[in-house]
């Protein structure tokens, strides 16, 4: 599955406009970047870091805690594994030599 990054909650790791390959249903470990359904609106997808487990649930965090409109587990708590869509395996666009610094 392909996902386009919007917003600056994952800066500096991911930037708005980055395109990601996501492996649906992939095993997630602490530290992985994941795509999950936003608990308050499951039709929206978010890209976050799977920080740690709380029992069976995952604590998801933004890289940029000062981003406006950031939504992560500090706002909605840990999410069940069923909310995780997949693990980010690759940022494929833009290529490193075209990426703005």
Q: What is the pLDDT along the chain (101 residues), one digit of tens a residue?
A: 999 999 999 999 999 999 999 999 999 999 999 999 999 999 999 999 999 999 999 999 999 999 988 899 999 999 999 999 999 999 998 876 666 55
Distance of CA 80 to the CA centre of its chain: 15
Residue with tokens 């790791």: 13
Flag whether the pTM goes above 0.75. yes
Residue 71 structure tokens: 């939504």
pLDDT value of residue 94: 83
Q: Which of 78, 85, 45 is nearest to 59 (CA)?
A: 78
Q: Which of 94, 97, 98, 54 is nearest to 76 (CA)?
A: 54
Classified as helix, coil or strand, 55 is: coil
Domain residue ranges in the chain: 2-93
**Alpha carbon of 59 to those of 16, 26, 43, 71, 98: distances in Å?**
23, 17, 20, 12, 33
Residue with tokens 């587990």: 73
CATH of domain 2-93: 2.10.109.10
């Amino acid at each position: 599955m392909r996902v386009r990054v919007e917003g600056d909650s994952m800066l500096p790791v991911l930037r708005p406009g980055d395109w990601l390959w996501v492996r649906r249903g992939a095993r997630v470990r602490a530290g992985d970047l994941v795509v999950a359904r936003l608990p308050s609106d499951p039709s929206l997808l978010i890209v976050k870091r799977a920080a740690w487990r709380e029992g069976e649930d995952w604590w998801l965090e933004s890289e940029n805690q000062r981003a406006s409109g950031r939504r992560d587990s500090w706002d909605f708590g840990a999410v069940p594994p069923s909310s995780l869509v997949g693990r980010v395996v690759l940022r494929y666009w833009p290529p490193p030599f075209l990426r703005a610094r």
